[in-house]
A and B are shown apart, each in its own frame.
Chain A
Amino acid sequence: MIEQLPILNLVLLLTTALMIPFTQKISFKTTKLVGFTVLLTVLVSTLFILLHVQSEGAFYYHLGGYPSTIGIEFYVSILSAFFTLFVIALGTLIYVYSTRDIEHDVYAQDYGRYYTLLFILLFSMLGIVYTNDLFNTYVFMEILSITTCSIISIKRSKKNYTAAFRYLMLNEVGSLSYLFGVALIYMVTGYLNIDLAAESIQQVWHLYPANIVIALGFMIIGVSIKAAIFPFHIWLPDAHSTAPSASSALLSSIVVKVYIIIMIKVLLRLIGIDILEALNIPVFLTIIAASGMLIGSIFALGQKDLKRMLGYSSIAQIGYIVLGISLMSSLGLTAALFHIVSHGMMKAALFLSAGAFIFLRNQRAINGFNGLGYQMPISMAVFSIAGLGMIGIPGTSGFISKFNLGVAILDANQWFLLVILIMSGVLNAMYYLPIMINAFLKDNPEKNRVMQFEKLPKVMLVPIVVLGLMIVLVGLFPNSIMSYIEAAVAMLLA
């Protein structure tokens, strides 16, 4: 029965997405309740899958019973199970937040559409993480692109349309690149299944090197465009800053990470480390990652809008993750995967609290934060915790990932990257600290110095606080998550 849970999760999410137009006709409250129940069920089931995989080992699920040579197969390993848990957990928190937040972003007639899109989004992300088939990944990737484009443009304003259109165009180019790469690999190996294609590539590598190299190039660039890796990050600041707050949180913390997981699968399971190193691909990735880390932060320094700055900060942090991947060692991969989890939590906390500021105070400009800490202490406190995590202060999860990344960098004898890592930390401090300082240590224009708890609706406050607590807890006790990640890395590199 547990073996059925992956597909049942997907089916459940899709069905909910389809039922929402009907529940919306009854009332908005039914939609919210139905959605919440479904998400909790899926969360519990992903937890069960994780525990099952941890004790019994990975398993395969063939759709339709067809063998893997001709059919679609899901590979539920520790990596998939853990990351689906991560996606659904963050998705649930953001969902709970969005039930109040969309009221001031989206027109009332679009609420049903928003939630349909949200559920299809979660459905496609789960699909991407589970699947073991290259073309199936493409299908889910397309669904994800289109739904994210819609979830950005649901706000019906001119800036949104421009941002969503640019997002769509670039992402389509990325998907097509990826498809082209898949086609080339199919041409050479005859399989679309990752495991079978990997075996075949090992044998066929000498016969058709050009094919595989070009396929790899297209696939990496396609995924890089969608994962906002420098220099293909261009769509990200517009898209994430104009979208409604819950959508930005979703996009920046989960959607972008799923593409990085595709990249990990392609690079490590499909192609394998030996071929990659023969092609000097790690060097290329390192250069991109290091420049992304610095340039993302430099662009973030000059921003005036809070959400745009957070978008550029995402680009810098994704550079960290790609740096970890490019080191091609188990330490590097562990650091990268841990940073995926940690950055997901921190960025979600940042975007959700930014959304709280916009909800209550309509405050988006960075220099308007004076004294905000007295009016909205809880959101500002969570913002500060997440900001400190971005800088890398011990006690938050950001420090653990930075430390592990540093150890991995030195293990590969690249001390220059350590310097860049530290410079990036200082740059991060340069744009997060002023906001935190202005909020708590300056007087606001109304000059009231009494700290009052903000009148944020509880549905919005609880996810923010939960995320803040999780950041601190993971920062203080990272071993539980580390054990899963190390098991996943062992499986990837075997």
Chain B
Amino acid sequence: MDDIILRTISRLIIPFIEIYGVFIILHGHVSPGGGFSGGAILGTSLILYTLVFGVEKAQKKFSHKVSDIAESGGILWFILIGLVGIFVTGYFLTNINAGFPIGEPGLLLSAGMIPLLMIGIGIKVASTMITLFHTVIEEAHHGSA
């Protein structure tokens, strides 16, 4: 879309959306939300960018290479954290017994590995949403062109 109002407002508002998304991801163990919803919001921000500025520019911001790394990296991060559990206690994905700092419930830095997992999931979900959207738009472009 080529509207100047949209472009200005988006440029202003996208960082705030992203911060909100990160907030929801990181507070997954404290308040409703978590990796999936936060990641969705994070993805929405870049989808807004794509809608306003066009696919080519969005591809420069978030190229295929980045999305590859993000998607694989998210799950690999998850698996690595799970493997820590195997090395320490013998069970995959153990939380307290694997030595993750548990802290006090209600605080941000608590609940052991859950925030870490949420980060991985958040990145992965955001990346998936953006990739899906880009793929659909590319197909549409190829179809019409």
CA distance A21 to B92 in the complex (A): 25
B109 on interface, CB distance cutoff 8 Å? no
Q: Note all chain B residues with C-beta closer than 8 A to A62.
A: 91
Given A11-B79, A18-B76, answer yes or no on A64-B86 (Cβ-Cβ < 8 Å).
no
Q: Note all chain B residues with C-beta closer than 8 A to A21.
A: 68, 71-72
Q: Note all chain B residues with C-beta closer than 8 A to A8.
A: 86
Chain B 69-87 residues near chain A, CB threshold 8 A: 71-72, 75-76, 79, 82-83, 85-86
Asked whether B91 lies within 8 Å of A15 as measured between CB atoms, the reply is no
Which of A3, A14, A19, A63 is within 8 Å of B93, CB to CB? A63
Q: Note all chain A residues with C-beta closer than 8 A to B79.
A: 11, 14-15
Q: Note all chain B residues with C-beta closer than 8 A to A14.
A: 75, 79
B90 on interface, CB distance cutoff 8 Å? yes
B37 on interface, CB distance cutoff 8 Å? no
CA distance A19 to B89 in the complex (A): 27
Q: Note all chain A residues with C-beta closer than 8 A to B92.
A: 7, 11, 63-64
A65 on interface, CB distance cutoff 8 Å? yes
Q: Note all chain B residues with C-beta closer than 8 A to A63.
A: 91-93
A320 on interface, CB distance cutoff 8 Å? no
Task: Encode B48-79 as 1/0 by CB contact (under 8 A) with A.
Answer: 00000000000000000000100110011001
Task: Encode A12-55 as 1/0 by CB contact (under 8 A) with B.
Answer: 00110011011000000000000000000000000000000000
Interface size (B, Cβ < 8 Å)? 18
**What's the nearest-Cβ distance from chain B to residue A147, in Å?**
14
CA distance A11 to B76 in the complex (A): 10
Which of A18, A19, A64 is within 8 Å of B94, CB to CB? A64
B31 on interface, CB distance cutoff 8 Å? no
Q: Note all chain B residues with C-beta closer than 8 A to A65.
A: 85, 89, 91, 94, 97
Interface residues on chain A, size class:
10 to 19
Q: Note all chain A residues with C-beta closer than 8 A to B68.
A: 21-22
A4 on interface, CB distance cutoff 8 Å? yes
B95 on interface, CB distance cutoff 8 Å? yes
A61 on interface, CB distance cutoff 8 Å? yes
Q: Which of A11, A14, A64 has the most CB of B within 10 A?
A: A64
**What's the nearest-Cβ distance from chain B to residue A127, in Å?**
12
**What's the nearest-Cβ distance from chain B to residue A300, in Å?**
37
Q: Note all chain A residues with C-beta closer than 8 A to B93.
A: 63-64
Q: Note all chain A residues with C-beta closer than 8 A to B95.
A: 64
Which of B71, B76, B91 is within 8 Å of A64, CB to CB? B91
Given A11-B82, A11-B83, answer yes or no on A19-B90 (Cβ-Cβ < 8 Å).
no
Given A63-B92, A64-B91, answer yes or no on A7-B76 (Cβ-Cβ < 8 Å).
no
A interface residues (Cβ-Cβ under 8 A, vs B):
3-4, 7-8, 11, 14-15, 18-19, 21-22, 61-65
A-B contact pairs, 18 of them (CB 8 A): A3-B90, A4-B86, A4-B90, A7-B86, A11-B82, A11-B83, A11-B92, A14-B79, A15-B76, A18-B76, A21-B68, A62-B91, A63-B91, A64-B85, A64-B92, A64-B94, A65-B89, A65-B91
B interface residues (Cβ-Cβ under 8 A, vs A):
68, 71-72, 75-76, 79, 82-83, 85-86, 89-95, 97
Other A-B pairs, 15, CB within 8 Å; known A63-B93, A65-B91: A7-B86, A11-B79, A11-B82, A11-B92, A15-B76, A18-B71, A18-B76, A21-B72, A63-B91, A64-B85, A64-B91, A64-B92, A64-B94, A64-B95, A65-B85
